[in-house]
Amino acid sequence: MSIQKTSRSTLVGQVTAQLEHMIESGQWQIGEKIPAEPELMDRFDVSRNTLREGIQALVHVGLLETRQGIGTTVKANSNFALALAKKVQKSNLYETLEVRLGLEREAAQLAAGKRTAEDLQHMEACLELCKEAAQSHELGRFIEADTAFHKSVVKATHNTMFIEMYEHITDALQRSVDEVLRIRNPINYENEIHTNLFQAIQAGDSQLALDSVNHYLEDAKKSLSHLINE
C-alpha cells in the first residue's frame, strides 16, 4: 500500500479547518481573544509558521482579526455571518428598519408562546437598565440596554436560526436605533421603553405583542422618513 506524504499545504488546511470549527461551534465567541500561539501549537501539534498561515487564512476571509497590541480576536462566527453583515452594511437605515420590522414582529409573536420564566427575568432586567439610563438621560447606555432587550426577546423564541440571524445584524440594528433616537430631540425616554411589549409576552398574548412592535417600529420609520425628507 502506498502512503502519501503529508504536505505543508495539507497541514495548513487542517489547522484552518479546525480553527474555523472552533469558531463556528461557539468555543470562541465574537470579540474573544483566541489562545496564545504556544498553546495552539501544542494542541494542533504543528509549527509556528503552519499555525500562523492557518490563522492568516481566517483573517483574510474575515472570521479573525489581528490588531497590534491586542492580538487575534474572533470577528465573526460563520461565513453566513460575514455575507449577512456585508449586505447590511450596504443597506441604508430605512431598509435596516424594515428588516427590524419583519424580524421583531415574528420574534414577538414566537416569544409570547415560547418564553420561559428565565426569559422573562432576563427581559425584565434589560428593561430595568433602560429605565435607569432614561432617568439619568444617558443615551449611549439607553441604546445599549434597549438593544439587549430586543436580543432577549429574540432569544425567547428558542429558534436557533432566528437567534443566529438576529445576532449577526445586531450592530446594524443598534445603529438604526441610535440614529432614530438621536434625531428625536428632546427624546421622550419613557415612550422608548418597551414595557407594553414585555407585558404582552409575559401574558402570552401574541397579537398584543405584535401590535406593540408595529407601534414602536412604525413610529421609528416615520421619524426616519421625516429626517430623510428634510
pLDDT at 185: 55
Would the pLDDT of 66 be above 60? yes
Residue, of 228 and 165, whose pLDDT is higher: 165
**Contact of 52 with 99, CB cutoff 8 Å:** no
Residue, of 68 and 17, whose pLDDT is higher: 17
Q: What is the pLDDT of residues 172-230, one digit of tens each?
A: 666 666 666 666 655 677 777 899 999 999 999 999 999 999 988 887 777 777 665 65
Please report the domains of the chain, with CATH numbers, ordered by start residue: 8-77 (1.10.10.10), 80-229 (1.20.120.530)
Q: What is the pLDDT of residues 74-102, one digit of tens each?
A: 887 776 666 666 666 556 667 777 777 78
Q: What is the pLDDT of residues 42-56, one digit of tens each?
A: 999 999 999 999 999
For residue 226, the 8-state DSSP code is H
pLDDT at 230: 57
DSSP the chain: ---PPPPHHHHHHHHHHHHHHHHHTTSS-TTPBPPPHHHHHHHHT--HHHHHHHHHHHHHHTSEEEETTTEEEE--S-HHHHHHHHHHHHS-HHHHHHHHHHHHHHHHHHHHHH--HHHHHHHHHHHHHHHHHHHTT-HHHHHHHHHHHHHHHHHTT--HHHHHHHHHTHHHHHHHHHHHHHHSSS--HHHHS-HHHHHHHHHT-HHHHHHHHHHHHHHHHHHHHHHHH-
pLDDT at 140: 83
Share of the chain above pLDDT 90, in %: 37
Residue, of 175 and 73, whose pLDDT is higher: 73
Average pLDDT, the chain: 82
Interval 125-142 mean pLDDT: 91
Interval 106-128 mean pLDDT: 96
**Contact of 169 with 113, CB cutoff 8 Å:** no
